[in-house]
Structure 1
Amino acid sequence: MGNPVQRHYGLDWLRIGAFAILILYHVGMVFVPWDFHAKLPGAWWVAVPMMASNPWRLSLLFVVSGYASRALLKRNATAGKFARQRSLRLLVPLAFGVALVVPPQPWVELTSKYGYAHGFAHFYVHDYFRFGAVGPIVLPTWNHLWFVGYLWCYSMALALLVGALPAAVRRGVQRGFDRVARGPALLVVPLGWMVLVNFILFPGGRETHALAGDWVAHFSYLPAFLFGFGMAAAPATLADLRRWWPASAGIALLAYAVVAGIELRWPGGTMPRPFGTIFSVARAVEGWTAVAALIGFADRHWNRDHRWRPMLTEAVFPFYIIHQTAIVLGAWWLMGAGLPAWADFLLLVAATIASCLAFYFGGRAVPWLRPLIGLRRHASRRTHVDPRPAIV
């Protein structure tokens, strides 16, 4: 499989930061007009700062996961071992999450929005595992854990490709990536692909996170995952991202300014033509140029270790598993309290962080719980330098 892929601490820090932003983003979902599992009185303008990360945070996570997958493939020696390792690390916490972590979310949604009259215990025993619809919600559900399911599917597709293609073909594909993913093409080709997906292949399409038929998501996130996989063996690509990150960041900021300006002028998706199209194009430009800028910035400035990194890297997956349930339950408890929106927000953030910390520190201390919350069965003895790649 060639030389080992070096751990990229900058990508670790990006992953940690992206999941921290995700927690704040999902707290924000409680207050904006967009659909969410639990809602509190808020303001439409909250959507404007949320759009600063909305177009790029998930693509960035799939790129980082693709990079780490290359390292895991090399460490596992064969595609079959890689597939087994990924299945254990992803499917076990996914099943645990669907069975025990996610259920309060649809119960709160059904109770607060659709008049569901039963308590949680009745819901869990009689309705959650019916494998059918209760009101508008099909149960059981994975809600925010769709990311884990998609990542497992992409990992299995990668394992099949690596196992099926001869080594000479794989080397040829990598050489092709090395030639294309350089210079201006690093921005032009991905942006052209996003325009193709959103305006030609699936005009007006939206992500569903239902796996089957979610073509907009698959045509967006699978290429991002494969880009990260190719980038892990392409130092020239990383060098160009590092060299051009200020230009990429400038383009991303300009694109966000367009997005924010149109949203401020026509809030709630009511923008007339041609501003709706301009809005969508600007989001696409922001989405990829922000990813390119962040990777380049992290490679130049953050590719160094810190004594907190191993713990923060390990904590990301358990935080991700529990955070949305904590947010939805917190919002449910705050309903009817009559607090101002700023107080609701601060209480939700504090309660969510406390829940994440309790879930992580409580789970990591119990050996049989560790795999259920996304941790390795045995804690690493190396607290300052962890050579193993981090991947959700």
Structure 2
Amino acid sequence: MLVTERRYDIDWMRVIAIGLLLIYHIAIAFQPWGLLVGFIQSDEPMPSLWIPMTMLNVWRIPLLFFVSGMGVFFAMRKRNILGLLKERTVRILIPFIFGFLAISPLHVVLIMDYYGQAPQYMPSAGHLWFLGNIFTYVLILSPLFYHLKKNDQGKLAVGIKKLFSNPLGLAVAIIIMVAEAVLVNPNPFELYAETWHGFFIGLLAFLLGFLFVFSGKGFWSMLLKWKWVFVILASALYIFRLIEFDLVAPSYLMSIESCLWIFSSFAFALKYLNKPSKTLTYLSQAAYPIYIIHMFMLYGACWLIFPLEMPVELQFVLVVLFTFTGCFALYELVIRRVSLLRPLFGLKLEKRKIEQVNLEVKEV
């Protein structure tokens, strides 16, 4: 099972997925129903933004769960099960609890103030529900993962590798995801946050993401071979959904489309993005804290910009610029540089700080 090479393409997929999440949430603020899902809403909507967003929406969250499962595979390489749970507690549970108490309430205050209500402190998971799910999946699945690690040549491990080294394995993965959609019957399919659909689709995607990487080079070679088939089929299903179902297709079709977009994304990322770069190194560190704070920055942008009289297109540009610039500025100038804040946003303590703490302990 031991894999030593760094998978830069998977790092890129995580960064890209979080970037798309920011764009997606910004687009919601410009929809006529944005307030219904708890967003500050522009008085002049831009419904045309929603056409590309509906293509993205069926696979953006499942993709993050796939990537998170892959991340656990790499985190296990030098850790036993207790070490993994400790590392995930520090990296996921602590930021989740901090965000629940201190970050999510901030954008609740902003929306209440914007709409003339008395601001109240209301702790909630908000957009950080994803972190709570991930930590739960680690608790549930880590015994299986470590069984596979210890029995790398056992019947189960060998069977998994054989299955996912050919297209039949992907067909099985699609069937599993379709079964979830049919059994849970989500309405709408894209409602993931704090729902049973979001929990089960996340659990399955997390498990499959781990198994894909565990399966080794055979899986990735097969994925590369079929990359154009995946993207063509995914595009065809999206166009069919747009024309035939006005973007709201049966859940089983949307589940198939979701899988195909995800498979094609991983294939093209492996083909073109599996190489190191300084940009990736920086963004990989920044992505997690930015994910945690982006809703506060987005709501702040809407709170400031929406009351101003200007064309809605200019509002959109300004909200995008404010949200992205604000997120990176807060990360770069505060979160990244204040040692006490780093663990609260999922960042490791800087090496020199760790050495200083160790020195102080020795002196004591």
> Which TM class, normalised by the smaller chain length?
0.7 to 0.9
> How many residues of Structure 1 are paired with residues of Structure 2 in the alignment?
346
Q: 1:185 aligns with which of 168, 179, 195?
A: 168
Indicate the percent of aligned positions where both proteins have the same amino acid: 26
- 1:299 corresponds in structure 2 to 270
Matches of 1:48 and 1:379, distance apart in 2: 46
Question: Secondary structure at 2:57's aligned position in 1?
Answer: coil
CA separation of 1:360 and 1:240: change in aligned 2, threshold 3 A? same
Cα deviation digits, residues 150-170 of structure 1 (max 9, x gap): 111112222243467894499
Q: Does 1:219 align with 2:219?
A: no
- 1:228 corresponds in structure 2 to 209
| Residue type of the alignment partner of 1:154 | Y
Bigger shift: residues 19-28 or 45-54: 45-54
Question: Secondary structure at 1:53's aligned position in 2?
Answer: helix
Q: 2:65 aligns with which of 47, 62, 82?
A: 62
| Residue type of the alignment partner of 1:307 | K
Question: Secondary structure at 1:232's aligned position in 2?
Answer: helix
- 1:249 corresponds in structure 2 to 231
Q: Does 1:363 align with 2:335?
A: yes
In terms of fraction of residues, the more helix-rich structure is: 2
CA separation of 1:302 and 1:30: change in aligned 2, threshold 3 A? same
- 2:358 corresponds in structure 1 to none
Are 2:148 and 2:156, in contact at CA under 8 Å, matched by a contact in 1? no
Matches of 2:149 and 2:270, distance apart in 1: 32
| Residue type of the alignment partner of 1:250 | I
CA separation of 1:283 and 1:205: change in aligned 2, threshold 3 A? closer
CA separation of 1:281 and 1:304: change in aligned 2, threshold 3 A? same
Q: RCO higher in 1 or 2 (8 Å CA, sep ≥ 6)?
A: 1
Task: For residue 82 of structure 1, report the CA deviation from its aligned partner.
Answer: 0.4
| Residue type of the alignment partner of 1:99 | L
Matches of 1:208 and 1:20, distance apart in 2: 18
Matches of 2:56 and 2:169, distance apart in 1: 20
Q: Calculate the aligned-residue CA RMSD, in Å.
A: 2.5
Matches of 1:350 and 1:144, distance apart in 2: 21
Cα deviation digits, residues 188-243 of structure 1 (max 9, x gap): 22322233222234364764533xxx321222111111112112222211111111
Matches of 1:30 and 1:109, distance apart in 2: 12
- 1:13 corresponds in structure 2 to 12
- 2:287 corresponds in structure 1 to 316
| Residue type of the alignment partner of 1:176 | G
Are 1:67 and 1:228, in contact at CA under 8 Å, matched by a contact in 2? yes
- 1:73 corresponds in structure 2 to 76
Question: Secondary structure at 1:38's aligned position in 2?
Answer: coil
Cα deviation digits, residues 29-68 of structure 1 (max 9, x gap): 1012343421112132321110121111121111111112
Bigger shift: residues 103-112 or 231-240: 103-112
Matches of 1:286 and 1:205, distance apart in 2: 15
Matches of 2:107 and 2:233, distance apart in 1: 38
Are 1:327 and 1:352, in contact at CA under 8 Å, matched by a contact in 2? yes
CA separation of 1:255 and 1:187: change in aligned 2, threshold 3 A? farther
Matches of 2:155 and 2:78, distance apart in 1: 22
Matches of 2:87 and 2:149, distance apart in 1: 22
Q: TM-score, normalised by structure 2?
A: 0.87
CA separation of 1:379 and 1:256: change in aligned 2, threshold 3 A? farther
Task: For residue 325 of structure 1, report the CA deviation from its aligned partner.
Answer: 1.1
Matches of 1:67 and 1:5, distance apart in 2: 14
Task: For residue 187 of structure 1, report the CA deviation from its aligned partner.
Answer: 3.6
CA separation of 1:350 and 1:165: change in aligned 2, threshold 3 A? closer
Cα deviation digits, residues 78-132 of structure 1 (max 9, x gap): 101100110011122222222222112222344455x52x2x4xx23xxx2xxxx
- 1:134 corresponds in structure 2 to none
Matches of 2:145 and 2:16, distance apart in 1: 31
Matches of 1:170 and 1:147, distance apart in 2: 33
Task: For residue 9 of structure 1, report the CA deviation from its aligned partner.
Answer: 0.7
Matches of 2:143 and 2:14, distance apart in 1: 26
CA separation of 1:261 and 1:338: change in aligned 2, threshold 3 A? farther
Matches of 2:28 and 2:157, distance apart in 1: 40
Matches of 1:309 and 1:169, distance apart in 2: 31
Map 1:3-42 to 2 at 5 A: 3-34=2-33, 35-40=37-42, 41-42=44-45
Q: 1:82 aligns with which of 81, 84, 91?
A: 84
Are 1:256 and 1:282, in contact at CA under 8 Å, matched by a contact in 2? no
Q: Does 1:100 align with 2:108?
A: no
Matches of 1:356 and 1:82, distance apart in 2: 29
Map 1:123-142 to 2 at 5 A: 123-124=120-121, 128=122, 140-142=123-125
| Residue type of the alignment partner of 1:197 | E
CA separation of 1:183 and 1:4: change in aligned 2, threshold 3 A? closer
Q: TM-score, normalised by structure 1?
A: 0.81
Map 1:188-203 to 2 at 5 A: 188-202=171-185
Matches of 1:166 and 1:145, distance apart in 2: 30
Cα deviation digits, residues 247-280 of structure 1 (max 9, x gap): 10111111111233346xx47x6xxxxxx43xx4
